[in-house]
Amino acid sequence: MADLRLIYGFHAVTSRIRQNPEGVMEIYLQSQRQDQRMRDLIALAELSGVRVIPVDSARLDGMAGGARHQGVAARVDAARRVQHLSDVLETLTEPPLLLVLDGIQDPHNLGACLRSADAFGVHAVIAPKDRAVGITATVEKVACGAAETVPYITVTNLARTLRELKDQGIWVVGAAGEAKQDLHSFKHTGPLAIVLGAEGEGLRRLTMETCDELVRIPMLGSVESLNVSVSTGICLFEARRQRSVLA
């Protein structure tokens, strides 16, 4: 039996239909909304063979739990198409660039991290199954489709997974405020996994000890730290910038 859940918002629903139409059971559209954006979505759903169900705004509000749904929701199969990192690594034609998130709890932060991962060509995002938010409807909406385009792989033991990455020749670099080396002076354009910690707590001790190297983002102002999704964007941008210089 399929593991069904609800996603909502134009970006999340449109991306799911384009990427995996067979995983979309049905979409619910606010019957009062008849603008061009809605008509385009209906045409895409019909072309993809997805059932369209018009509903009133009150029902959509209830389905989305009061979240801002934009008049669109969909019931989808929650099974992820990519389950193992090896499925990703075996298909790459360039050195892997991976993002490892050590226990992100806030769905808005995870969604924003996925958007950055998509923007900078990350091949997969790795996160622990426990003590982490996972992919939710809020994550999918904030990610604006990136939850469908970037493989999100959960693991039972993050430290063990990092050691396995190192065994495969992937350099594991953690972002930590206490690191002596700053991000810009760090030079590595080969196989790379960038590790960022949870909101407030940062990297867990075992995760930090497992990294090959630690780097910090240079801070010139009075604030001591950045939001994890902002830090993710900065680190991924620098990794891609270094690769493009050598390309």
pLDDT digits over 146-179, tens only? 888 899 999 999 999 999 999 999 999 999 988 9
Residues 93 and 30 in one domain: no
Residues 6+ apart with CB under 8 A from 32: 56, 57, 71
Closest CA to 118 of 247, 240, 242, 245: 240
Number of domains in the chain: 2
**114 lies in which domain range?**
85-245
Q: What is the CATH number of the domain that holds 22?
A: 3.30.1330.30
Q: What percentage of residues in the chain have a pLDDT greater than 70? A: 96
Residue ranges for the known binding site are 197, 217, 226
pTM above the 0.75 mark?
yes
> Tell me, what CATH number does 142's domain have?
3.40.1280.10
Per-residue model confidence as pLDDT tens digits over 59-86: 888 888 877 888 999 988 866 555 688 8
In the annotated binding site for S-adenosyl-L-methionine, the residues are 197, 217, 226
